[in-house]
Amino acid sequence: MELSLTILIPVALVLVGLAVKIFFWAVNNGQYDDLDAEASRILFDDDVTPADEQVKDTK
Amino acid sequence: MGEHQSIGCFHCGLPVPKHAHFEREIDDQLRQFCCSGCENVAALISGQGLGEFYQRRTANADRAIDSIENLSYFDNADLQTEFVSDLGDRKRAELLVQGITCTACVWLIEKVLRDQQGVVEVSVHSVTHRLLLTYKESETSLSSLMAALYQFGYRVQPWRVSSLQKNFERDKRKSLKRIGLAGFGMMQVGMVAIALYAGGFQGIDDATRNMLNWVKALMATPVVFYSALPFFVSALRALKAKHLNMDVPVALAIGGAYIASVVATLTASGEVYFDAVMMFTFFLLIGRHYEHQSRHRNLMDDWRYRAAIPDLALVKRDAEWAQVPSSRLIEGDHVRVVMGDQIAADGVLLQDATIDESIFSGESEPILKRKGDQVFAGTNNLGDLFEFVVTHRTNQSQLSKTNDAADLAHQHKPKWVTIADKVAAYFVAAVILISVATFAIWFQIDSSRAFWVALSVLVATCPCALSLATPTVLAAAVQTARRHGLLVRNSQAFSLLSQIDEIVFDKTGTLTDGQFSVTNVEYVDESIDPSFASALINTLEQHSRHPIAIALRAYFCDSELLNCDVTEQVGCGVEATIDGDVYRLGRADWALNTKGKQGIWLSCNGREMVQLFVEDRLRDDAQALLKSLADKKIKVTILSGDLQDRVDQIAKQLDVGKAYGDQRPGDKREYIAQRQQQGAKVAMVGDGLNDIEVLAQADTSVVVGDGVDLVVDRGDVVVLNHRLSQLIDLLSLGRQTRRLERQNIAWALSYNLSILPAAAAGLVAPWAAAIGMSLSSVLVVANALRIKRFKGESGGA
């Protein structure tokens, strides 16, 4: 019991630290700057148009 | 989609000109367009398989641009240093896209650009309209990418943001990080807390419990020192200034609870409040974040007005046309403006033009302007290409003056906002005292609960909402007014306008449009040669700026000019001496040196020569305005420097009982002062040119320009679109502002007063107190923003 706690708690702390780090990176990277367009973006990329195929071709 | 067809252009929604035949089949249906530009753009959009744009959009697109200017300028490496960053083999440009109306535009722009050779990454911000474009310079150039967007009717310019905007963005990111950290911390501490609660039921040994408390402390520490930092900083700043603000109780609550908990953990005795600290911080930060966001949107609206000056202007230099940065335009430059372009400086037209002045007036109706008329920086050319001569460079233009005036108004803190701040400070002091008292009383009753009950009181009753109640309403009201063509220079005007009893109008240039026309010329002295008299009048009035002089000059403009010196007697007329004879042209009592005559006279040594009859035109909307004021039971008085009979004439047309002519500015001021002594609240409406002291004497003042000179630095409110009926909007906006302010204050006060007993009785947990306080602030902000839905009554905008 004591042993498992002394291992698991540091593990949890490290994981939380990691999560906070990733979140900070995402914010600094501008991923949270415009939440309005992101809400509509999922609708935009859903369907394939000729333009989409063209993009794939060029890549 | 059918409705677009019948209302107007399928692409931009503007009305289709009667005799225009711009038709094309789009998605198997015949559509009509207002111009070939829009027609081509629509064909291009649907031809590229992007026709979904028309189904996705929620607003009509901007009118297409006919011509693409010389964009190669933007490939210039020197210019690019300002907005393009070098990323090795690729470059990233920061651009501002104009013409985005909804998220469908975002989709279209991104699609179009991704199709281009050499484009690596595209992202468009739907609120700020910023385009981040990463491309390989070896495969494409910035100008060709910009040209691609121009084809779709979007114009692009380098992204230059004010430092204010940059600060906001940095603050937003910081605030998100603070919220995130507090959220993570809150959840982790919550988990440990569950273990402790379980331990409480099943039994837990002291060593384990103490260890878990240490874990909590470890997680709470970064939250207190990073996430809650703004509260401490703000509270300290306030205390240093010997002042109490909202953050003082918050900082006390967070700091106090944290320190008490750390001490409890160190000594392994007593209660820990880490969970409460975390939840406080988290919910308070979220509330504050939303409040900042809505204020940011407000700022963005304002900021758009600043973006209205184009970066480049087409200028004639050494007989050749060249693209020159707008900031380098000087007076006297010949500037060419192509269709759809914005005008870079104030100037005088060399050709007729169709202009969109909505940036000043809030009305998008195109205005036809004649050769010789003034055009203003930031307005839009809707018609054909035209040229103009610069009279005021960009940073001295009406737009920049208007923006300066608006800035001042924002900085200006109305009296009762300062009062509200003071009241809130007392409120905070009371909150702290009550919390201490609560702690003392609960310590007697149940010492284990005393601390968190005191915390709840401290937070729940914090008067955040109270301090936000009026400023948020005022900020939104000023914005809304601007959209309706009203520049509010002093936001106090809103509340004063809602209590006004009497409005004093100036006549010339206010109730009338300031333009006179000559109705009759009577040669009283029959011996006089009419051609000499005409030449004399034309010469005398040549340099006067008085509206009547302008009318006479226009009437006699075909006559020759005589060679003589002319002196002007302000308020009387003009005078010249030719061959020993003194000729005077002006008001009867001055020109003829007698009382009892009316009108305008030309005299020779005081002898009657010619009588001139002029008439000024009432503004089209003066009648409607006065009728609506009568309905509102607001008294109307006309005070004019003009002759009594002409004032009477106007008063009769408008059905105004009290109208006084022959008033000098001093008389007008005295009249207003006298009415104020009788307890009336008086508003003055004038043209802001020669009535400054009168405007200052009135409780509040409105300046209505006459369309030539826009006066933006006088009066509490400036009607930017010269429409008198806008006053009706102003009055109802004032009333609505007042109403929302009252609602906000009532809500904030009743919330604070009703939560106080509950919190003191120990019925409100600290986290609930934090939510309650945040929610009440958000509610106040949301209520304030309702004013943005204000639709004018006058039918304008």
> Exposure of B591 by Cβ count < 10 A (0-12 exposed, 13-18 middle, 19+ buried)?
buried
Please tell me the distance from the alpha carbon of residue B256 to that of residue B455, in angstroms, as a whole number: 9
**DSSP per residue, B10-51:** TTT-PPPPTT--EEEEETTEEEEESSHHHHHHHHHHHHTT-T
Helix/strand/coil for B249: helix
Identify residue B371 by its one-letter amino acid code: K
The percent of residues above 90 in pLDDT, for chain A, comes to 25
CATH of domain B164-309: 1.20.120
User: Among B152-156, B219-223, B271-275, B409-413, which stretch is predicted with the lowest mean pLDDT?
Assistant: B409-413
* Amino acid B1: pLDDT: 37
Is A44 close to B219, i.e. CB distance below 8 A? no
Q: Is the pLDDT of residue B409 over 70?
A: no
**ipTM surpassing 0.85, yes or no?**
no
Q: Does A3 touch chain B (CB under 8 A)?
A: no
pLDDT in the model for residue B564: 79
What per-residue confidence (pLDDT) applies to A22? 95
What is B2-56's CATH topology? Answer: Ribosomal Protein L24e; Chain: T; (2.30.170)
Chain B within 8 Å of A26 (Cβ-Cβ)?
no
* Spatial distance between the Cα atoms of B52 and A51, rounded to a whole number of angstroms: 12
Lowest mean pLDDT among B55-59, B380-384, B679-683, B729-733: B55-59
Residue in B111, B125, B219 nearest the CB of A34: B125
Contacts of B181 in chain A (CB under 8 A): 20, 23
Handedness of CA B446, B448, B451, B454 (dihedral sign): negative
The string of pLDDT tens digits covering residues B147-182 is 888 777 777 777 765 555 677 778 888 999 999 999
- A51 → closest Cβ in B48, B128, B184: B48
pLDDT tens-place string over residues B383-408: 778 889 998 887 778 777 777 766 66
Cβ of A12 and B125 within 8 Å?
no
pLDDT band for B797, please (50, 70, 90 cuts).
very low
Q: What is the CATH number of domain B312-394?
A: 2.70.150.10
The full set of domain ranges for chain A reads: 2-58
CB nearest A13 (choices: B117, B208, B218): B218
The rounded mean pLDDT for chain B is: 79
Q: Answer for the pair B599, B611: CB distance below 8 angstroms, yes or no.
A: yes
- Of B54 and B457, the one with more pLDDT: B457
Give the per-residue pLDDT at A57. Answer: 45
Task: Give domain limits for chain B.
Answer: 2-56, 71-160, 164-309, 312-394, 397-478+736-797, 479-511+619-732, 515-618
The yes-or-no verdict on residue B748 having pLDDT over 70 is: yes
Instruction: Say whether B49 and A50 touch across the interface (CB within 8 A).
Output: yes
Of B602, B620, B598, B617, nearest in space to B547 by CA? B617
pLDDT tens sequence across B615-640? 777 888 888 888 888 888 888 898 88
Give, as one character, the DSSP assignment of residue B342. B
Residue bearing the bigger pLDDT, B364 or B766 = B766
Query: What percentage of residues in chain B have a pLDDT greater than 90?
Result: 5
Q: pLDDT digit string (tens) for B507-517?
A: 777 888 767 77
* Structure confidence at residue B224 as a pLDDT band (50, 70, 90): very high
User: For domain B479-511+619-732, which CATH number applies: 3.30.450.190, 3.40.50.1000, 3.10.20.580, 3.40.50.2300?
Assistant: 3.40.50.1000
- Strand, coil or helix: what is B416? helix
Class at the top of the CATH hierarchy for domain B71-160:
alpha beta
Instruction: Express each pLDDT in B699-739 by its tens digit.
Output: 888 888 655 455 666 778 888 777 788 888 899 998 899 89
pLDDT of A1 higher than 60:
no
Q: Does B203 touch chain A (CB under 8 A)?
A: no
Q: Give the closest-approach CA distance of B286 to chain A in angstroms.
A: 15
Phi and psi angles of residue B409, each rounded to the nearest 5 degrees, phi first: -60, -35
| Tokens encoding B249 | 């109780």
* Residue whose pair of structure tokens reads 């028309």 in the numeric block: B54
Over range A14-21, report the average pLDDT: 93
Report the percent of chain B where pLDDT is more than 70. 83
Does the pLDDT value for residue A47 go beyond 60? no
Residue B3's pLDDT is 37
Q: What is the pLDDT of residue B652?
A: 86
Q: Which CATH number is associated with domain B515-618? A: 3.40.1110.10
How far is it, in rounded angstroms, from Cα A30 to Cα B173? Answer: 8
Judged by DSSP in three states, B158 sits in strand
Give the pLDDT mean for B36-48: 69
Q: Is A55 on the interface with B (CB under 8 A)?
A: yes
What are B404's two structure tokens? 């300066």
Hey, are the CB atoms on A40 and B177 less than 8 Å from each other?
no
What value does the mean pLDDT take over residues B271-283? 81
